[in-house]
């Protein structure tokens, strides 16, 4: 944070040679705006605020999760309904904490910065973009570091424990079991939280930047200007009402009611939010206003913006349900993957990969339709508020997402404490539903990332003064092709990191089983601390190269090749990153639930594939092990890659526009 804050200040301050004189405004040359040096200073401050808010949210989320998992296990003694309520409410704390802290810090920052900027709204909201960059840069470390941590432990624990030694998951005899349980919180709670916080902060910043040079900014209409924040505020109230449906109005009584209860959360929050958006659009916006659209002002009505936000909201729901269809073991795609385990691990892998590729189709069409409709109505502002629409129910999304790792750890605690088989069955049922909801959460995160990065891309192109991005221009085309390669390079780094960390973990677990007498019999205690240390060291060391790739690419490309090539890089990374992210997340989720389908043996078909320890089950475990880094490291981290590169380009746009393209200047 400290190093990057200095980079932001030096790069943006040098735009006007660290001058303290007022400069002509970017969009209205006849007016004078505040000096670039002060915009650099305020951008740095907002970057630090975004980063700290993201870190605090992740930290508090993990604290809540570690309090909640043991309570969930204890509540499971009374029945599945009580355990569900405890896990769900704990997840909801994380959701509301994140949505509200992101909103309140952003609102206070805008009002404090306004004291200095006064009427210069263009400069004010340009400096606010640093907030989104701060949120997302921390999410990168939470997601990548957390993903490497959790999967190194998980793969190591599964390969030696389940496949070689034939002991159950979360068995206390397994030396990697503690690292595995800690990892669930690091990757899925802290990582997911900071990821969605980053999306929220960036879509708000993109909308505010575009609004500041539209009629809201020109006429100094503060209520209209704060429309993106109002959408998020209504979202918090809607999500509060929605949670009552899961915990108070309809109580979960049986295992089969868990998944429907979580799905209802998504539907109820989306329906209520639609009415909320209609109300806020009618109250906060003038009947007619103009939106900046690449050099011209486009007239839009308040109902136009209602449609933009709503289409993002409903596209999110569609992506959520398609993800659920492809990753839940209640439907045929995952059951087919489980069935393919009959003939070994190879066919399981083939079926899983095919499922992942196929699951991309409908989400991409949903994103494409949202982009076309929202852009037609309100240009880039429309796309930014559509992304906010998708994220407006973030509190509910995070509640059902954080519920997953809490239930997973509750099962681990039940196993380690030697509690009865009945309690383990209840926590397993909670966990299986949590797996699907985690996949839905990742679907939301990836869909919103696509819209957010496109909105940021539009704001960047406007700020950098690029009139048109011509694909036939060699400068742009080389950017496109390199940008499309970046997600593959990034995925290769993260997958290899998990592989090498898992290798060390497997060796350590094997060593302990072979050298500690009485470990398999349960009379000796394994050395958990060494396994935790392997995961921790690996995650900190291995996340530096992928992090550097994402953070340095826009800086290097913008400085050396200029804004046109950087536009190509951003477009290429967005287009290929979204596809890989969706397929990787869904493939991993499907393999995981195929394994759980065989283990649970709930249907006649599942019982023919089992029991645990059979060849069929071992093939499923191998598929799940391959899918772990795909669904929890590479897939979810890619949405941060596309967002972070876009928001970073926007923050540094003034520098790239004036000083960028050094190679082309001197060649």
Write down the domain spans for the chain: 1-666
**What is the structure's pLDDT at 230?**
95
Distance set, CA 393 to CA 87, 103, 195 (Å): 19, 13, 15
* Lowest-pLDDT choice from 176-185, 331-340, 428-437, 630-639: 428-437
Average pLDDT over residues 56-60: 87
Contact in structure between 306 and 230 (CB atoms under 8 Å)? no
Nearest by Cα to 391 from 435, 447, 431, 328: 447
> What value does the mean pLDDT of the chain take?
89
Secondary structure of residue 300 in the 3-state scheme: strand
Residues contacting 556, CB < 8 A, separation 6+: none
Question: Does residue 642 register a pLDDT over 70?
Answer: yes
Note the residue count of the chain.
667
The tens digit of pLDDT for each residue in 80-99 reads 889 999 999 999 998 898 88
**What is the structure's pLDDT at 667?**
65
**What is the structure's pLDDT at 613?**
80
**What is the structure's pLDDT at 600?**
80
**What is the structure's pLDDT at 159?**
83
Average pLDDT over residues 337-355: 94
pTM (2 d.p.) = 0.90
The tens digit of pLDDT for each residue in 15-50 reads 877 878 887 777 777 777 788 888 899 999 999 999
Question: Does residue 14 register a pLDDT over 70?
Answer: yes
| Pairing state between β 296-301 and 288-293 | antiparallel
Residue 228: exposed, middle, or buried by beta-carbon count in 10 A (0-12, 13-18, 19+)?
Answer: buried
Confidence bin at 240 (pLDDT 50/70/90): very high
């Amino acid at each position: 944070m400290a190093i990057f804050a200095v980079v932001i200040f030096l790069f943006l301050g040098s735009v006007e040679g660290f001058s303290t004189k007022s400069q002509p405004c970017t969009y209205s040359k006849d007016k004078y705006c505040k000096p670039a040096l002060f915009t650099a200073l305020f951008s740095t401050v907002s970057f630090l605020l975004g980063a700290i808010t993201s870190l605090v949210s992740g930290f508090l989320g993990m604290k809540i999760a570690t309090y909640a998992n043991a309570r969930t296990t204890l509540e499971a003694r009374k029945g599945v309904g009580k355990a569900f309520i405890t896990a769900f409410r704990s997840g909801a704390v994380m959701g509301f904490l994140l949505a509200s802290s992101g909103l309140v810090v952003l609102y206070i920052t805008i009002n404090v910065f306004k004291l200095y900027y006064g009427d210069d709204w263009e400069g004010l909201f340009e400096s606010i973009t640093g907030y989104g960059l701060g949120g997302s840069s921390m999410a990168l470390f939470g997601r990548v570091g957390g993903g490497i941590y959790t999967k190194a432990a998980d793969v190591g624990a599964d390969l030696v424990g389940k496949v070689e030694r034939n002991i159950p998951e979360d068995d206390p005899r397994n030396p990697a079991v503690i690292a595995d349980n800690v990892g669930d919180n690091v990757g899925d709670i802290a990582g997911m939280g900071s990821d969605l916080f980053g999306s929220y902060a960036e879509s708000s910043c993109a909308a505010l930047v575009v609004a500041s040079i539209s009629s809201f900014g020109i006429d100094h209409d503060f209520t209209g200007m704060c429309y993106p924040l109002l959408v998020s505020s209504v979202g918090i109230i809607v999500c509060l009402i929605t949670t009552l449906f899961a915990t108070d109005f309809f109580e979960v009584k049986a295992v089969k009611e868990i998944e429907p209860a979580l799905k209802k959360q998504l539907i109820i929050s989306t329906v209520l939010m639609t009415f909320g958006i209609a109300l806020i659009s009618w109250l906060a916006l003038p009947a007619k206003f103009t939106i900046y659209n690449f050099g011209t002002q486009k007239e839009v009505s308040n109902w136009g913006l209602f449609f933009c936000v709503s289409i993002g909201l409903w596209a999110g729901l569609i992506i959520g349900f398609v993800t659920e269809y492809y990753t839940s073991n209640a439907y045929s795609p995952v059951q087919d993957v489980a069935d393919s385990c009959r003939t070994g691990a190879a066919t399981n892998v083939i079926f899983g990969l095919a499922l992942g590729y196929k699951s991309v189709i409908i989400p991409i069409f949903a994103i494409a339709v949202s982009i076309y409709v929202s852009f037609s109505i309100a240009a880039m502002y429309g796309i930014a508020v559509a992304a906010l629409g998708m994220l407006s129910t973030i509190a509910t999304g995070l509640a059902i997402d954080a519920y997953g790792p809490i239930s997973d750890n509750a099962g681990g605690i039940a196993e380690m404490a030697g509690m009865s088989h009945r309690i383990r069955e209840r926590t397993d049922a909670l966990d299986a539903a949590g797996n699907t909801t985690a996949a839905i959460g990742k679907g939301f995160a990836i869909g919103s990332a696509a819209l957010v990065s496109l909105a940021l891309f539009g704001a960047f192109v406007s700020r950098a003064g690029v009139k048109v991005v011509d694909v036939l221009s060699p400068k742009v085309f080389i950017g496109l092709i390199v940008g499309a390669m970046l997600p593959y390079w990034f995925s290769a780094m993260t997958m290899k990191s998990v592989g090498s960390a898992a290798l060390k973990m497997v060796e350590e677990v094997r060593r302990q089983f072979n050298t500690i007498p009485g470990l398999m019999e349960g009379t000796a205690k394994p050395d958990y601390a060494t396994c935790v240390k392997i995961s921790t060291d690996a995650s900190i060391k291995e996340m530096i190269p992928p992090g550097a790739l994402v953070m340095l690419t826009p800086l290097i490309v913008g400085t050396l090749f200029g804004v046109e090539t950087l536009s190509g890089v951003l477009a290429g990374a967005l287009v290929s990153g979204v596809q890989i992210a969706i397929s990787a997340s869904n493939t991993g989720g499907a393999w995981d639930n195929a394994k759980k389908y065989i283990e649970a043996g709930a249907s006649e078909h599942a019982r023919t594939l089992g029991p645990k320890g059979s060849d069929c089950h071992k093939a499923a475990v191998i598929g799940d092990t391959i899918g772990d880094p795909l669904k929890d490291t590479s897939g979810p981290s890619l949405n941060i890659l596309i967002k972070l590169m876009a928001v970073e380009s926007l923050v540094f746009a003034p520098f790239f526009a004036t000083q960028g393209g050094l190679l082309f200047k001197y060649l």
